[in-house]
Amino acid sequence: MAFKRPQALAKPTTHALARYKSTLNVQDQELEKSLLYEDIPSNPAIVATDSSIHPVLGEVGAQEPEKDVDMMAGVKSDLTVIKETFSLEAVPKEAIAVGLAGVIPYLVTSLSTVYCAAEINANAIHGSGYLMSGQSADLLLQIIEPMQIGYGAVIISFLGAIHWGLEWAKYGGSQGFKRYAIGIVAPAIAWPTIMLSPIFALSTQFLAFTYLYYADSRASKRGWAPTWYPVYRFVLTFIVGASIIITLIGKGQIIEDHHSRLPNPVDRIRAFRDNYIDEASANEASNKEETIEKNKAIKEEE
């Protein structure tokens, strides 16, 4: 510091000095005279009840900046579509109550199938189940399977019969065999499924429910059914379809060596046919033996 040249000290800046040096309070006389005789342009578009209020973050009459892009707009739109799809506001309350009560058996049988599958697997792996033995769970599953298949056949037939009622009521005009055909095809597909194995039967009924939903949607679009009917059918079909899928998943998880498959009507028919053939063959063989013995006895007498 001793060898550094002495520096001049900076003059301290005070508030009074800053106000003295400022030109904000100096009046421009020439500008004031020019504005005195200048006409103020009128703009009725910006005159309103609140036009005398100056905005905090902008200017009067200025264009508003573009709003930021909502990154969640797509998600909100999808949620709105889902809400509108499952909205049952236009559906009669009685129809909602009865329809939801009708899908309860499907939900119960599906969840019961998953539970029985878990019990069977637990007994097979650990030697003991959660609440019941593997044999009891297997027997319960054999009772549940035909109940769900039979109930599904009844519901599919009922959905087809609705179109017969609409035709008799002449809803949307008389359509004749076009509308009667829906009520004929439905039970023709539904009731043969009770003769199939559970997996094939449930898969066929799933396709039948999907086809009937498509047919109901087309009927409503043509004016053959109420406008709220497709939404109502979609909600119920969604529950039923999800129940069938849950049942198929539950059955697919079962260890086959510890599950005895319940014979379906086709198996019983095959067993009856095989027994009949075996009995006929045995009777034919015994008749041949009797004939041979009789011939021998006749020859010995001669």
64/66 Cα distance (integer angstroms): 6
Q: What is the pTM of this model?
A: 0.63
How many C-beta atoms lie closer than 10 Å to residue 89's C-beta?
7
How many C-beta atoms lie closer than 10 Å to residue 189's C-beta?
18
Packing angle of the helix pair 229-252, 134-168 (nearest 10 deg): 160
How many C-beta atoms lie closer than 10 Å to residue 208's C-beta?
24
If 0-12 CB within 10 Å is exposed, 13-18 middle and 19+ buried, where does residue 155 land?
buried
- Type of residue at 33: K
Per-residue pLDDT of the chain (302 residues; tens, 9 = 90+): 555 566 555 555 566 665 655 666 667 778 787 777 777 777 777 666 666 666 666 666 666 667 777 777 788 888 887 777 777 788 889 999 999 999 999 999 999 999 998 888 888 888 777 888 878 888 888 889 999 999 999 999 999 999 999 999 999 888 889 899 999 999 999 999 998 888 999 999 999 999 999 999 999 999 999 989 999 999 999 999 999 999 999 888 887 765 666 666 666 677 777 777 877 777 777 777 777 777 777 777 66
Q: Can you read off the two tokens belonging to residue 9?
A: 């000290």
Return the biggest CA–CA distance within the chain: 165
Tens-digit pLDDT profile for residues 265-281:
666 677 777 777 877 77
Distance of alpha carbon 297 from the chain centroid: 79
**Cα radius of gyration (the chain):** 43
Tens-digit pLDDT profile for residues 92-123:
899 999 999 999 999 999 999 999 988 888 88
Tens-digit pLDDT profile for residues 153-163:
999 999 999 99
Q: What is the pLDDT of residue 23?
A: 61
